[in-house]
Chains A and B, each alone.
Chain A
Amino acid sequence: QSALTQPASVSGSPGQSITISCTGTTSDVGSFNLVSWYQQHPDKAPKLIIFEVNKRPSGISDRFSGSKSGNTASLTISGLQIEDEADYYCSSYAGKTTFVFGIGTKVTVL
């Protein structure tokens, strides 16, 4: 159950697009289209923003989009806004009702 690999930080200017990668293995990301993404602001609980690779829950902006290729999933934030500054975590199903999270990526809006 090793954590999924994410870049420690990603930054961008308002209005730009950024992409966060999430790399796992053939035991998790590569085997299941069950990657989800969570946004966490400081001292707040995580919030689901993408599930099943590319689906958005009701109420989540379409500026957030997800994709996957092989063992790597990606989250793209388009039209970056100040309020997007937060930590982002990916998660993947890892079989037998177990899960693994990414190490987290801090997004900074310059």
Chain B
Amino acid sequence: QVRLVESGGGVFQPGTSVRLSCAGSGFAFNRFAIHWVRQAPGKGLEWVATISYDGSTKTYADSVKGRFSLSRERYNNALYLQMNRLRPDDTAVYYCARSPSAMVAFGGVFVAHFDYWGQGALVTVSS
């Protein structure tokens, strides 16, 4: 079955960096776009970023633009969310979620939902 697993969470000081990983199994990981969605403690869901199947398209929420970056290593089915200049309001559970498509938008066709989710990785930013 489709499974996504996030790793790399922990406690970090403001201003530092962390790299989260997302690993997929049960499907052809390199053929699907992947999203990151976060949820602050007791709060709602917030879309963070999206990367296309081949890494050619990456988009970010305004709240993380310029600080977070996505990459994927197709040769080892790895996907990373690099989070720099961490702030206390980045504290959240970070979920990676699969798109059922290689790209969100292509040729006038849009696929804009998240069909499978990982269990999340908690990132706490505190001094």
Q: Does A3 contact B (CB under 8 A)?
A: yes
Q: Which residues from A are CB-within-8-Å of B63?
A: 1
Q: Which residues from B are CB-within-8-Å of A46?
A: 37, 45, 95, 97, 114, 117
CB–CB A98/B61 < 8 A: yes
- Closest B residue to A57 using CB positions: B115
CB–CB A102/B44 < 8 A: yes
A89 to B117, CA, bound (A): 14
CB–CB A97/B45 < 8 A: no
Q: Does B79 contact A (CB under 8 A)?
A: no
Given contacts A46-B95, A97-B57, contact A34 B110 (CB under 8 A): yes
Q: Which residues from A are CB-within-8-Å of B50?
A: 97-99
- Closest A residue to B60 using CB positions: A98
Number of interface residues of A (CB under 8 A): 27
A107 to B70, CA, bound (A): 34
- Closest A residue to B119 using CB positions: A45
Given contacts A98-B61, A100-B47, contact A93 B112 (CB under 8 A): yes
Given contacts A38-B45, A89-B44, contact A98 B114 (CB under 8 A): no
Partner of A101, one of B46, B110, B116: B46
CB–CB B47/A104 < 8 A: no
A62 to B114, CA, bound (A): 19
A47 to B116, CA, bound (A): 7
A103 to B44, CA, bound (A): 5
CB–CB B45/A89 < 8 A: yes
Q: How far is the CB of A55 from chain B (nearest CB, A)?
A: 9
- Please list the residues of chain A having a beta carbon within 8 angstroms of any beta carbon in chain B: 1, 3, 32, 34, 36, 38, 40, 45-48, 51-52, 57, 89, 91-93, 96-104
- Please list the residues of chain B having a beta carbon within 8 angstroms of any beta carbon in chain A: 35, 37, 44-47, 50, 57, 59, 61-63, 95, 97, 104-105, 110, 112-120
A sample of 18 cross-chain residue pairs with beta-carbon separation below 8 angstroms, ordered by A number, consists of A3-B46, A34-B112, A38-B45, A38-B114, A40-B45, A45-B118, A45-B119, A46-B97, A57-B115, A91-B47, A91-B113, A92-B112, A93-B104, A97-B59, A98-B47, A100-B47, A101-B37, A101-B46
- Please give me the 6 A-B residue pairs with the lowest Cβ-Cβ distance, nearest first: A93-B112, A36-B113, A51-B113, A34-B112, A104-B44, A99-B47
